[in-house]
A and B are shown apart, each in its own frame.
Chain A
């Protein structure tokens, strides 16, 4: 494995740990995580519930503070990165504001960040086009299907040109057919925008299909048990999932989960 030069590292964590104090004693959500994520990578975090994958994403986003170790995002602390609006975050639920139309939902971060009216208009058109939602600008969220709502929330995260996209099980609540379709679109979008994507999932095929790097995690304490560099080509049609190469990587992911006692 080639080491990437330091300037290309977007996220680097070393000895990272996070312990929640609860009434039943401390919960080790993350323990001793060392990880480097390079620019333009598509990294999936996979593991069972409680393995700390979402917590790690929230630490990157400065939504949680680590108790041990260090982490840098774009060479800054997570807080500085958040203040400089370094990332877009896509949550498990679309979290669109029901009183805003789709275009005004996408406009929300742009309004907060002080973009001009013309700039907002241009960016809304561009990002809605990117997620294939052109023509739905004036619709309210409840008028859209779950998959379309989640695409709108991705458009919202893309609208302000952050180079880093953090996605927390964005397709977890959708059915498999819609999910396949959105996975394909997400890969295409990633190829067009050249963003760095951190993607949390609990689906092995999804992780293998999307990623250039798969981080396998295990619970109690939440930790990284394996980091797999994908050998799949950049161009990935959906039926790549039946190739031996794909199945080999999936097997290694499963192996990593088993090694971390995730199946017990």
Chain B
């Protein structure tokens, strides 16, 4: 009976598999493979018409192999194949001097600096607004509706105006983009921190009252530490929004550099491979920023006694 015979052998054989599937590596790998498969199929399908036109104009016969290879190696494909994007990424990241305008690292840095400046300003602004809202009823009633309304305006409508208006008073480069990032990233921080500052139990607030603690002491010793988990969660949302803000802020400035201008230039000249590599670079940046915040979160929460 296999049910009886299996245990000894099964443990030995399933050990590695069990360890691998117990982690996140296997599920992530499967998802990545699925995405790549869909991507290749889509690339073949979308690039096929153009490839057929090329063959029709050319002389001689073509085989299915030629056809498939052709759809994956066009200069300006509708949808570049993954390996084309990978090659472009490699060439523009590793193959270039980082100070060169042809280097994707150079553009990523421009976007990253605006993202970080805007994110820091947005987080500080968000925390300050949350402090005002939590400590003042009038502020709660008057500010909150405006804060929510501010996020209903499409950022694509407001970004060019911010850039143009600021340029007219001599502010160009980093600051206008950072302001757009701030505009997007302060919102999740306000909402999260208002909830966080209000998260202490009545009993914990009563305790502070029995000590005749000042408002400042209650804030620093109770409200702020209670809000820390909320802060990190909203910072993760905020940093992703910041990156979007910086990229959107770079679209109107065109040639000034950054992933946004790279996207715009790519679409002007039909350089789809360049667009896709810039997109992937932006996604990687965003992932890195969120990972970094996650790491800080783990360290801080571990130091403040969070249950492991």
Contacts and interface: CB of A to CB of B under 8 A. Distances in A.
B211 interface: yes
Given A97-B222, A97-B225, A100-B305, A91 B212 contact: no
Contacts of B135: none
Residues of A in contact with B, size category: 20 to 34
Interface string A95-130: 101111100000011011100000000000000000
A186 interface: no
Given A95-B203, A95-B204, A112 B210 contact: no
Contacts of B203: 91-93, 95
Contacts of B201: 95
A89 B207 contact: yes
Interface in B192-239: 201, 203-204, 206-213, 217, 221-222, 225, 228
Contacts of B222: 97
Contacts of A111: 221
B305 A83 contact: no
B305 A109 contact: no
B223 to A, nearest CB: 11
Most central of A63, A93, A108 by chain B CB within 10 Å: A108
Contacts of B206: 63, 89, 91
A91 B305 contact: no
B211 A112 contact: yes
A204 to B, nearest CB: 26
B283 to A, nearest CB: 34
Interface in B219-278: 221-222, 225, 228
Nearest to A98: B305
B307 interface: yes
Contacts of B204: 95, 97
A111 B307 CA distance: 25
B211 A109 contact: yes
A142 interface: yes
A98 B306 CA distance: 8
B304 interface: yes
A91 B207 contact: yes
A68 interface: no
Nearest to B305: A140
A85 interface: yes
Interface string A140-156: 11100000000000000
A89 B210 contact: yes
Interface string A70-96: 000000000000110101110111010
A82 B207 contact: no
A140 B201 CA distance: 19
Nearest to A140: B305
Given A98-B305, A99-B305, A100-B305, A108 B221 contact: yes
A99 B225 contact: yes
Nearest to A109: B211
Contacts of A216: none
A43 interface: no
A100 B228 CA distance: 13
A144 to B, nearest CB: 12
Contacts of B228: 99
Contacts of B210: 61, 63, 82, 87-89
B224 to A, nearest CB: 10
A212 B206 CA distance: 28
Contact of B221 (A83, A89, A112, A142): A112
Interface in A51-67: 61-63
Contacts of A97: 204, 221-222, 225
A1 B211 CA distance: 35
14 contacts: A83-B212, A85-B212, A91-B206, A95-B201, A95-B204, A95-B207, A97-B222, A99-B305, A100-B305, A109-B211, A112-B211, A112-B213, A112-B217, A113-B211
Interface of A: 61-63, 82-83, 85, 87-89, 91-93, 95, 97-101, 108-109, 111-113, 140-142
Given A85-B211, A92-B203, A95-B201, 15 more contacts: A63-B209, A83-B212, A88-B210, A95-B204, A97-B221, A97-B222, A97-B225, A98-B306, A99-B225, A111-B221, A112-B211, A112-B212, A112-B221, A140-B305, A142-B307
